[in-house]
Amino acid sequence: MSHPTLPAEAPVRFMQLRHDDLRAEAAIEPEQPSGAPVTKATQIIAIYGKGGIGKSFTLANLSYMMAQQGKKVLLIGCDPKSDTTSLLFGGKACPTIIETSSRKKLAGEPVSIGDVCFKRDGVFAMELGGPEVGRGCGGRGIIHGFETLEKLGFHDWGFDYVLLDFLGDVVCGGFGLPIARDMCQKVIVVGSNDLQSLYVANNVCSAVEYFRRLGGNVGVAGMVINKDDGTGEAAAFAANAGIPVLAAIPANDDIRRKSASYEIVGRPGTAWAPLFETLASNVASAPPMRPVPQTQDQLLSLFSAEATGRDFVMEPATTFDMVGRHDAIRPSLEVVYDAA
């Protein structure tokens, strides 16, 4: 029995139509995020930034101030270094969820809240942890950690705020988890007046924009400028990206010394209290916004040409540079077809 056959050009025509549909769909602009205040009972906020930029310092003091203002706060360290809570607990290491769950599993015991969650002056805190160096994926560790949190009843906990401390390396699916899966309502970026921290902050904005286009709901609430020396590049980036500056923490030796000795500077009644009171208020009320990611050239334009080498003219390499001789150019035997 013979079967009807399609013309040879039919698959090509079908693929072209499919590509046209996809292009048309991608060209549709998503709706603007709501500018209204977040009304969900628990605000889950992910804080991102380059390693060493001061996320843990900012979060420890922010969470402490929020708790002193009568809020119930949970701080979750999602950095494989597991150092988010060290400032809060006077330098003491907090047992990580990943390490504890592995140990308990080997012993045939369940993990309980008291094994992984600890508190100080009204702040509840825990560390997800990560694999040992060279022995696993940090992002996969994040996913495993949140799976364990869900088993512990994470969605039923009655906190006013849950603050998540994440590395800004959102090219990793694990670190981009809160944005990709709408696990938080808003994102805050921590940066400084240096190109690398702003590059990371811009990557986070790009990830938020990407998932907004896929139907996500997470927005960027703003930027915290840490170690602010007054040169203004971070503030200029925030203005260009269309996000507010929630606070600017100065590059101050008193802050540096106190944080190095694991001292909370954001205590009510202290010299730095107004700064963190303002930050706490801004973090609570800032709506999630759709950012405007910057191009590499736009980022570089925030800095002087002398600092970035932006005025350098690129010179193409030659065959002589590579092999030390001028080879004759031989015609290719490859058959080149005209574009369809």
SS3 of residue 292 by DSSP: coil
What CA dihedral angle connects 100, 103, 109 and 110, to 10 degrees? 30
Nearest of 190, 188, 195 to residue 307 by alpha carbon: 195
Residues 50, 186, 227, 258: which is the catalytic one?
50
Decide: 97 and 143 in contact? Cβ < 8 Å: no
Neighbours of 206 (CB within 10 A): 15
Q: Indicate the pairing of strand 118-120 with strand 123-127.
A: antiparallel
169 is catalytic: yes
Decide: 302 and 233 in contact? Cβ < 8 Å: yes
**What does 73-123 look like in DSSP terms, one character per residue?**
EEEEE-STT--TTTTTTTTPPPPBHHHHHHHHHHHT----HHHH-EEETTE
81 is catalytic: yes
SS3 of residue 221 by DSSP: strand
**Which neighbouring-strand residues pair with 126?**
76
Decide: 54 and 227 in contact? Cβ < 8 Å: yes
3-state helix, strand, coil in the chain (%, to 5): 40, 15, 45
Decide: 191 and 49 in contact? Cβ < 8 Å: yes
Q: What sign does the dihedral 317-323-329-331 (CA atoms) show?
A: negative
Give the C-alpha distances (Å, rounded to integers) separating 211 from 32, 46, 167, 205, 285: 13, 15, 18, 10, 23
Q: Which residue has the tokens 């029995």?
A: 1
Residues 72, 81, 104, 119: which is the catalytic one?
81
SS3 of residue 238 by DSSP: helix
55 is catalytic: yes
Residues 83, 115, 160, 169: which is the catalytic one?
169
Which residues are identified as catalytic?
50, 55, 81, 169
